[in-house]
Amino acid sequence: MRDAHTLPQPDRFQYTPTLSCVMPAYNEGQNLGTVVPQVLQALQALGSQVEIVLINDGSRDDTAQVMQALCEAHREVVGINLSRNFGKEAALTAGIDAARGEVVVLMDADGQHPVSLVADMVKRWREGSDVVYAIRRTRDDQSALHAGLTGMFYKLINMGNRVKIPAHAGDFRLMDRRVVEALKQLPERNRFMKGLYAWVGFASTAIDYEPLPRAAGESSFGLRGSFALALTGVLAFSIAPLRALTITGLMLAMLALGYGAWVVAEYFVWGIDVPGYATLVVGMMFFSGIQLLSIGILAEYVGRIYEEVKQRPMYLVSQRWGAGLSLAPVKA
């Protein structure tokens, strides 16, 4: 079956695609004015027609005004105002939904993702990759603890999972139209985009890059923000925590059985009167701890199920500026 948007592979070598660049922005008023024209210039050198889709994720600074001015100055720029701060994952989703290009590039709005890499990405796309993701070579912009925990997170989330999430690959990536259409079919509310990209699959290649320092402003993802995202990632992509509970429960039950048998033997065979106070206290505390932990982990999953069944929209748009590209012509 050929998807309506799929180009036959050999055509890509000669073909200049229409390009969308999606940029979520939260308090990036100081950065958009410099980053957007740079990106626009880079895109225009690569695409037949281009658009930049800016998503203002409920910023508290002047991002909305700067965005509107950019839309008025450049007809290639589309500005989408979300009704409040929905978080980067939702903002990206809004951008992906609005993008119309045959090739879609996701990029941060803070200047940390080098625009020069986009040319390489498009080259890989021409060579047949449907997804080209950028892997950061270093984490010098984060603390050692943060970087270490991130490494552990990737090990944990990929443990025993069929779908492997490439470590240190962020949202900076290029996607073919059919990958975008696949992503748009995933309805979950608890969005962990890095997992969703991996889940949809398609021919993917990695290129590595050195993240630049933030042009201005500060990161929204400190240790706490990253931890919340990591938790969403693990809970949305793996039932390993639940399995760990089952196994722990099983092992403890067997241990208790063995110990029970030992105590009975002590009493009947050797006639030792069993002194048990300390064992009792320690045992009780240990087991109630395990039980509370288990309930907590279960509750995390149940809470997320609750959020899913409510079926609320992932984001709400309050305003939109600029027309952007029209949808790619359907190729026979």
Binding site for Mg ion (CB under 5 A): 108, 110, 112
- Amino acid at site 220: S
3-state DSSP call for residue 120? helix
Q: Which is nearer to ligand UDP, 126 or 146 (CB)?
A: 146
Sign of the dihedral defined by the CA atoms of residues 30, 33, 36, 37, in that order: negative
Would you say 114 and 49 are in contact if contact means Cβ atoms under 8 Å apart? Answer: no
Q: Which does 102 bind (CB under 5 to 8 A by kind): ligand UDP, Mg ion, none?
A: none
**Rounded to the nearest whole angstrom, what is the least distance from the CB of residue 58 to ligand UDP in the complex?**
8
Cα–Cα distance, 86 to 99 (Å, whole number): 18
- Amino acid at site 204: S
Q: Which is nearer to ligand UDP, 85 or 190 (CB)?
A: 85
Q: Which does 24 bind (CB under 5 to 8 A by kind): Mg ion, ligand UDP, none?
A: ligand UDP
What are the phi and psi torsion angles at 133 (to 5°)?
-110, 145
The single residue among 21, 40, 46, 91 that binds ligand UDP, judged by CB under 6 A, is 91
Q: Binding string to ligand UDP for residues 94 to 133, with x set by CB under 6 A, is what?
A: --------------xxx-x---------------------
Q: Binding string to ligand UDP for residues 200 to 239, with x set by CB under 6 A, is what?
A: -------------------xxx------------------
Distances, alpha carbon 243 to alpha carbons 69, 152, 160, 297, in Å: 52, 19, 11, 11
Burial class (CB in 10 A: 0-12, 13-18, 19+), 104: buried
| 4-63: contacts with ligand UDP (CB under 6 A) | 24-26, 28, 57
Cα–Cα distance, 312 to 298 (Å, whole number): 22
Q: Which is nearer to ligand UDP, 29 or 101 (CB)?
A: 29
Cα–Cα distance, 38 to 317 (Å, whole number): 26
Q: Which is nearer to Mg ion, 17 or 58 (CB)?
A: 58
Place of tokens 């030992």: 262
Q: Which is nearer to ligand UDP, 169 or 178 (CB)?
A: 169
Q: Which does 109 bind (CB under 5 to 8 A by kind): Mg ion, ligand UDP, none?
A: ligand UDP
Interaxial angle between packed helices 193-200 and 223-237, expressed in degrees from 0 to 180 and rounded to the nearest 10:
40
Q: Which is nearer to ligand UDP, 112 or 232 (CB)?
A: 112
Q: Which residues sit at the interface with ligand UDP, rule CB under 6 A?
A: 24-26, 28, 57, 85, 87-88, 91, 108-110, 112, 219-221
